[in-house]
Amino acid sequence: GKLRRTFRWAWRLTYLSALGLVGYTAYDIYVDRHPDEQFKPDPNKKTLVILGTGWGSVALLKKLDTENYNVVVVSPRNYFLFTPLLPSCTTGTIEHRSIMEPVRRILRGKKAVAKFFEAEATSVDPERKVVRIADNSEIKGATSETEIPYDMLVVGVGAENATFGIPGVRENSCFLKEIGDAQQIRKKIMDCVETAAFKDQTPEEVDRLMHMVVVGGGPTGVEFAGELQDFFEEDIKKLVPDISPRFKVTLIEALPNVLPMFSKTLIDYTENTLREEKIDIKTKTMVKRVTDKTVEAEVSRPDGTKERVEIPYGLLVWATGNAVRPIVKDLASKIPAQKDSRRGLAVNEYLVVQGTRDIWAIGDCAVAGYAPTAQVASQEGYFLGKLFNNMAKTENHEDRISELSGKLNIAGGNSAEASQEIELLERQLKKIRDIKPFKYSHQGSLAYIGSDKAVADVSWWNGNLATGGSVTYLFWRSVYLSMCFSPRNRVLVLLDWLKSKAFGRDVSRE
């Protein structure tokens, strides 16, 4: 009897929570589809130009009260990309459009209109306070290059792929940073499989084509290797059984271990899990040269000697971290205080680019002493949004105080109402001005490592929790699902997960 009652209550609770979740999502969708009328931008307000539509810039836009500025957003990408799920797009576990959110929809949800230009910022002139922008898309109008003047500028252009000038990397490998990269990898994996299955293919060529090499044992490389092995185990093996025994994933890392930002226990757990999944991990191996069919690497042996090896591959994915974008290098070269900044724009504790008064930098292009992660970029963007809202409030308050003081002077200082309002405004002003510098709060690190397992190093109460396994994978899924940008993204990702589980991944090569 007692058990049955408990069960009934548990069932009711689950039912109610599911109903609540559906109701909440429906409300979210309704609000998203029926945004309020927008104010027109006020030309007397300051022009705030935001470069980029990534983690940093979009977090800033989300928080910013756009009615306080003339907001102009410039990015060659007219969407926000939820990068943590990008590795899942390379195999079709998730369809790429499910993790993209059009910037037009984001801007339509704001109180006041903000302009968007799909263009690349090519240079900044901090003297004249203008940004040069170019439309590098396929279709061009009569004007495809112009300038935007700014009062305030936020640089959130992210970073590009590091290749360290290693010969052959740009020409022969795929990167994993943008949607186009994931689509290219997805096509190439199946091209390798179909070519390996071609009639009368030589055994050596089958081995080469079915060898998928990943360079870089950071989280991008590890997550991709895990996704690839899943794809093979769950789909390719069933669909192309004759060549499948030759499929092999190799992960190459220059350092002694993968995932250096995780704790030792989780590094060991990850390496053991990857080995169980039959991923070949080659640590202390530095790639020195790449050709169209081989990777040449230098292996450091335990006795201190070095050996050169040649590894044939079918698909090569290069994931060795970040390099500085040309626009950032160019801007840094124009600011004397930035002459020693090699990794991006050095910023102060309010994220102001050092050596300037009206340029801020956030995310992967800023050097603030934190790792280049989405977590850091979004907290920095949020901070700037709050800072700019406060700055506008300060200005509004100051204007109102001087207006009231003027009135008081004319009235001979005897308007009790005006005096009271001034007092209140000054008190509020003090609070607004008292904005603390940016401080990053680390929530933890999460990574998927394949075979429905994930690792997590998360802050827990006042301590740290390091865990790995299938339960962590469920946690990984729920965290990323809840972090998706919009209800639309959330529903699409959930449906993609269900779809690939039920029907398998789609192996058609577009």
Should residue 325 be labelled a site residue for ligand FAD when binding is judged by CB under 6 A? yes
Nearer to ligand NAI, 193 or 319 (CB): 319
Q: Hey, is 450 helix, strand or coil?
A: strand
Bridge partner residues of 363 (DSSP):
none
Please, are residues 270 and 449 in contact by the beta-carbon 8 Å criterion? Answer: yes
- The full DSSP string for 263-276 is -HHHHHHHHHHHHH
Nearer to ligand NAI, 323 or 331 (CB): 323
Question: By rule CB under 6 A, what string of x and - marks binding of each residue 15-44 to ligand FAD?
Answer: ------------------------------
Please, are residues 426 and 250 in contact by the beta-carbon 8 Å criterion? Answer: no
Q: Which residue is nearest to ligand FAD (CB)?
A: 54
Please, are residues 98 and 488 in contact by the beta-carbon 8 Å criterion? Answer: no
In Å, how far are 1, 178, 224, 491 from 175, measured between CA atoms?
Answer: 60, 8, 11, 28
Interface positions with ligand NAI (CB under 6 A): 84, 166, 215-221, 223, 252-255, 260-261, 286-287, 319-322, 371-373, 445-447
286 binds, among ligand FAD, ligand NAI, none (CB under 5 to 8 A by kind): ligand NAI
Q: Rounded to 5, what percent of the chain is helix, strand, coil?
A: 45, 25, 30
Question: Among the candidate windows 31-39, 52-60, 385-393, 490-498, which touches ligand FAD by CB under 6 A?
Answer: 52-60
Please, are residues 73 and 107 in contact by the beta-carbon 8 Å criterion? Answer: yes
**Tell me, what amino acid is at 144?**
S
Nearer to ligand FAD, 209 or 387 (CB): 387
Closest approach, Cβ 103 to ligand NAI, in A, equals 22
Nearer to ligand FAD, 134 or 507 (CB): 134
Closest among 340, 392, 384 to 363, alpha carbons compared: 384
Closest approach, Cβ 202 to ligand FAD, in A, equals 34
Nearer to ligand FAD, 60 or 422 (CB): 60
**Tell me, what amino acid is at 353?**
V
Q: Which two tokens stand for residue 6?
A: 């408990």
Closest approach, Cβ 340 to ligand FAD, in A, equals 21
321 binds, among ligand FAD, ligand NAI, none (CB under 5 to 8 A by kind): ligand NAI
Contact pick of 67, 101, 118, 120 for ligand FAD (by CB under 6 A): 120
Question: Among the candidate windows 88-96, 154-162, 396-404, 467-475, which touches ligand FAD by CB under 6 A?
Answer: 154-162
Question: By rule CB under 6 A, what string of x and - marks binding of each residue 373-402 to ligand FAD?
Answer: xxx-x-------------------------
In eight-state DSSP terms, residue 165 is T
Contact pick of 258, 327, 351, 454 for ligand FAD (by CB under 6 A): 327
Q: What is the spatial distance between Cα 510 and Cα 493, in angstroms, rounded to a whole number?
A: 21
Q: What is the spatial distance between Cα 484 and Cα 486, in angstroms, rounded to a whole number?
A: 6
121 binds, among ligand FAD, ligand NAI, none (CB under 5 to 8 A by kind): ligand FAD
Bin 179: left if φ > 0, else alpha if -120 < ψ < 50, else beta: alpha
Should residue 229 be labelled a site residue for ligand FAD when binding is judged by CB under 6 A? no
Q: Give how many residues touch ligand FAD by CB under 6 A.
A: 33
Q: Hey, is 191 helix, strand or coil?
A: helix
Should residue 363 be labelled a site residue for ligand FAD when binding is judged by CB under 6 A? yes
Q: Hey, is 121 helix, strand or coil?
A: strand
Place of tokens 């001979």: 412
Closest approach, Cβ 220 to ligand NAI, in A, equals 3
Closest among 270, 257, 265, 251 to 453, alpha carbons compared: 270
Q: Hey, is 298 helix, strand or coil?
A: strand
Which residues 160-199 are close enough to bind ligand FAD by CB under 6 A?
Answer: 176-177
Should residue 75 be labelled a site residue for ligand FAD when binding is judged by CB under 6 A? yes
Nearer to ligand FAD, 206 or 279 (CB): 279
In Å, how far are 212, 250, 293, 318, 445 from 217, measured between CA atoms?
Answer: 14, 10, 21, 10, 15
Question: Among the candidate windows 108-116, 153-161, 253-261, 415-423, which touches ligand FAD by CB under 6 A?
Answer: 153-161
55 binds, among ligand NAI, ligand FAD, none (CB under 5 to 8 A by kind): ligand FAD
157 binds, among ligand NAI, ligand FAD, none (CB under 5 to 8 A by kind): ligand FAD
Q: Reading across the β-sheet that carries 120-125, which strands appear in turn? A: 120-125, 130-134, 145-149
Please, are residues 170 and 75 in contact by the beta-carbon 8 Å criterion? Answer: no
Residue 237 C-alpha from the chain's centroid: 32
Nearer to ligand NAI, 281 or 351 (CB): 281
Contact pick of 90, 93, 220, 486 for ligand FAD (by CB under 6 A): 220
In Å, how far are 32, 86, 476, 483 from 480, measured between CA atoms?
Answer: 20, 12, 6, 5
Should residue 320 be labelled a site residue for ligand FAD when binding is judged by CB under 6 A? no
Ranges assigned E (strand) in 156-215: 160-161, 211-215
Nearer to ligand NAI, 71 or 311 (CB): 311
Residues at the site binding ligand FAD, with contacts judged by CB under 6 A: 51-57, 74-77, 83-84, 86-87, 120-121, 156-158, 176-177, 220, 325, 327, 363-365, 372-375, 377
